[in-house]
């Protein structure tokens, strides 16, 4: 099995590239989606996050409201680190189980793990190849403001906590330039897939 790390930054187009790879036959594991799951009632991080941040982050049904939680950590790097320490280990454990199951059923398959911080955590070293979804910083800002209904200030704060995409290029085996038309992004991603398919055989 070929293990691929797919990364990018805020609104850089990595999810679009991941969806293309999934349609082409890759297993796609979204770290962000697993992060949502471990915060659900009964999830591995649920009780610890409540203990750390209090019951005020719950809605009437007992679910953690991610917007309330985000508001507590948004301008507080120390609290964000505390949240990451609680959420990231169970996400990694789930990822490893899914990869192991996939390897057992499709030894020549391609598994893609999509995560924004593969490089920052050093986790990319555990993968065979690293794909970066790249676009211009101003495009990230515009896309994030439109997608998330965020202010420019909010987006800039989020970007300031991420490694710039230009810096991430130094680590990538492949770069998908998402700054143009979606058709261009799809063509580049398909070309990368064909190369990965040859390696996986």
The CATH code for residues 1-26+109-201 is: 3.40.50.300
Q: In this model, does residue 61 exceed pLDDT 90?
A: yes
The structural domains of the chain, with segments of one domain joined by +, span 1-26+109-201, 31-106
- Measure Cα distances from 125 to 30, 119, 132, 190 in Å: 18, 8, 14, 24
Tens digit of each residue's pLDDT (9 = 90 or more) over 90-107:
999 999 999 999 999 999
Whether the CB-CB separation of 31 and 91 falls below 8 Å is answered with yes
CA distance 63 to 112: 29
Alpha-carbon dihedral sign for residues 180, 185, 186, 192? positive
With bands split at pLDDT 50, 70 and 90, how would you rate the model's confidence at 158? confident
CA distance 196 to 201: 9
Q: In this model, does residue 157 exceed pLDDT 90?
A: no
Q: Do 1-26+109-201 and 31-106 show the same overall fold?
A: yes
Homologous superfamily, domain 31-106: P-loop containing nucleotide triphosphate hydrolases (3.40.50.300)
């Amino acid at each position: 099995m070929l293990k691929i790390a797919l990364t990018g930054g805020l609104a850089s187009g990595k999810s679009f590239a991941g969806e293309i790879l999934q349609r082409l036959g890759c297993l796609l594991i979204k770290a962000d989606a697993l992060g949502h799951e471990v915060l659900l009632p009964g999830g591995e991080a649920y009780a610890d996050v409540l203990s750390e941040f209090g019951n005020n982050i719950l809605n009437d049904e007992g679910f953690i409201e991610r917007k309330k939680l985000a508001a507590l950590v948004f301008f507080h790097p120390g609290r964000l680190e505390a949240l990451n320490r609680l959420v990231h280990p169970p996400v990694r454990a789930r990822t490893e189980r899914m990869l192991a199951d996939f390897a057992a059923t499709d030894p020549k398959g391609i598994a893609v793990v999509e995560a924004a911080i593969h490089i920052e955590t050093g986790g990319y070293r555990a993968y065979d190849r690293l794909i970066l979804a790249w676009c211009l910083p101003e495009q990230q800002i515009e896309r994030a403001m439109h997608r998330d209904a965020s202010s420019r200030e909010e987006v800039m704060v989020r970007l300031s906590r991420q490694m710039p995409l230009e810096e991430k290029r130094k680590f990538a085996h492949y770069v998908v330039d998402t700054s143009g038309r979606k058709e261009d992004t799809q063509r580049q991603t398909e070309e990368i897939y064909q190369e990965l398919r040859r390696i996986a055989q």
